[in-house]
Structure 1
């Protein structure tokens, strides 16, 4: 009788446990806290400049796309295109260079494999500021300053260690018997990559690509130091709204919204592949 009473107290009239309802509320509150800055940015982008700069903030307003039109009619498109070229180009290079390297480290390891892995990941420990001067002098001597090719190569070197590390972890989940059977049938290295590796770790490749794409798209430090106008990217463009004349909140919000759309869309389209890729090997 007492057990039934305890169970009845824990279950509200709707039939859901009280603790589950509370955890759901807490979870939605956490989501709202993290999502609120993005929501506020979107709302600011739909205001006029006086409304966005008003204090206290304007809560009720008539939405307008005027700031989006001004941003798109200005200099934003070339910066956007530069970001797309550098991000997509570096991501493709990471996959082209990282997949064979990850294959060698995971499927055909040698005596110094662990040392190579440590070297790859240790390059991520180097502060960006420490490599700025050598890379800047090298780009200057090669006449690659303010050049989208230099930025693409820099982003590739930044993301390649992480890409190799992630791809190797995915490759370790493939049974070695598949590779042995393919080698018995006379399959070449390229055949193994195309017919075995790529289909089996496609979610992992998608997850690695999206992570590298996000890192490249959001990178600011090298972009602001290696470019001036021709090869400048979207993050550099956004800083231009902060000037001595003040901060243009509405235009900045509109430009930031446009700059964030590709990454948001890519994440939304590849969300299933991303979740599958990041959870590969989590369950044996």
Structure 2
């Protein structure tokens, strides 16, 4: 029998959720507000909250100084390309682990996850040399491959979890009807796991979009995404907080909009199979 939840309990849980949400969102809110301040107001002590002289000057200066559209386009290609390439590899890999019995499946999954525990700087030097050797330094192709590889373990883990929730009898019935491996994955498994696949795609886009370590070390100018665009506003003369905030707001705006409009799908996918 389900346990009833009192109105007071619901109100308390809602209040706690709002407090946590506001605390998490506060840095983003402060960055957006600072982007509309003058440099003097940005470093004022005590800080200026809402009552200041709102200005778009920082955005004008940022747009004049940098080609924002080029950085944006690089981010779209790198994040989208790494996601598509990763899904092409992750879906068959997760299918084989979920539906082909093996005593080594858990060991393989743990090994893949352990690669995320390795500090990225530990493999920077060999990857940098490989990129120079094959002419991939400061190219979109090189960054797409690297970001796909570093996010691939998470993609496989997520898809494996979603695929395990699908009854194997459905796939067996498809095989009895003459479905081959390709048809089984494309026309049976994939449509049933759409929520999980969608959430995996969205999460990978966010991770690739926000990746800074590899983009700053493997690019210079041609393939630089928005993370490099933000870093360019750190100069030897010091930080110009208002202009840096404007650049940061322009960089995070696309992913914030994407997350806002896809939040229902993301939550649905992340909770897929959580309730029986």
TM-score normalised to structure 1 length: 0.88
Which of 47, 52, 55 is equivalent to 2:42? Answer: 52
Q: How far 1:20 sits from its partner (Å)?
A: 4.9
1:169 corresponds to which residue?
Answer: 161
Equivalent residue runs for 1:238-253 within 5 Å: 238-253=230-245
The answer on 1:272 being equivalent to 2:264 is: yes
CA separation in 2, counterparts of 1:181 and 1:190?
15
Query: What is the number of residues matched between the two proteins?
Result: 269
Q: Could you report, residue by residue, the CA deviation over 1:229-275 in whole angstroms, capped at 9, with x for unpaired residues?
A: 11112112212212122211111111111111122122122211111
- Correspondence list, 1:104-183, <5 A: 104-183=96-175
Change (3 A) 1:56 1:153: same
Tell me the secondary structure at the aligned position of residue 93 of structure 2: helix
Cα RMSD, aligned residues only: 1.9
C-alpha spacing 1:252/1:165, structure 2 compared with 1 (3 Å): same
Match 1:72 to one of 63, 69, 73: 63
Determine the structure 1 residue equivalent to 2:182. 190
The Cα offsets for residues 28-65 of structure 1, whole Å up to 9 and x where unpaired, read as 33322222221111111112333323333334123222
Match of 2:3 in 1: none
Deviation string, structure 1 residues 146-201 (Cα, Å, up to 9, x no partner): 11111110001001111011101100111111111111111122212222122111
Post-superposition CA distance 1:121-162 (Å, at most 9, x none) = 222122101111111111111011111111110001001111
Task: Flag the 1:115–1:241 CA change in 2: closer, same or farther, 3 A.
Answer: same
**1:282 alignment partner in structure 2:** 274
What's the counterpart of residue 259 of structure 1?
Answer: 251
- TM-score, normalised relative to structure 2: 0.90
Which position in structure 2 is the counterpart of 1:6? Answer: none
* 8 Å contact from structure 2 (residues 171, 189) kept in 1: no
Quick check: 119-128 or 202-211, which moved more?
119-128
- The Cα of 1:22 is off from its aligned counterpart by 4.7
Counterparts of 2:219 and 2:25 in 1: how far apart (Å)?
Answer: 32
Structure 1 segment 9-28 matched on structure 2, within 5 A:
17=8, 20-28=10-18
- Asked whether the equivalents of residues 206 and 270 of structure 1 are also in contact (C-alpha less than 8 Å), the reply is no
Tell me how far apart the structure 2 counterparts of residues 255 and 39 of structure 1 sit (CA, whole Å): 14
Distance in 2 separating the partners of 1:201 and 1:65: 45
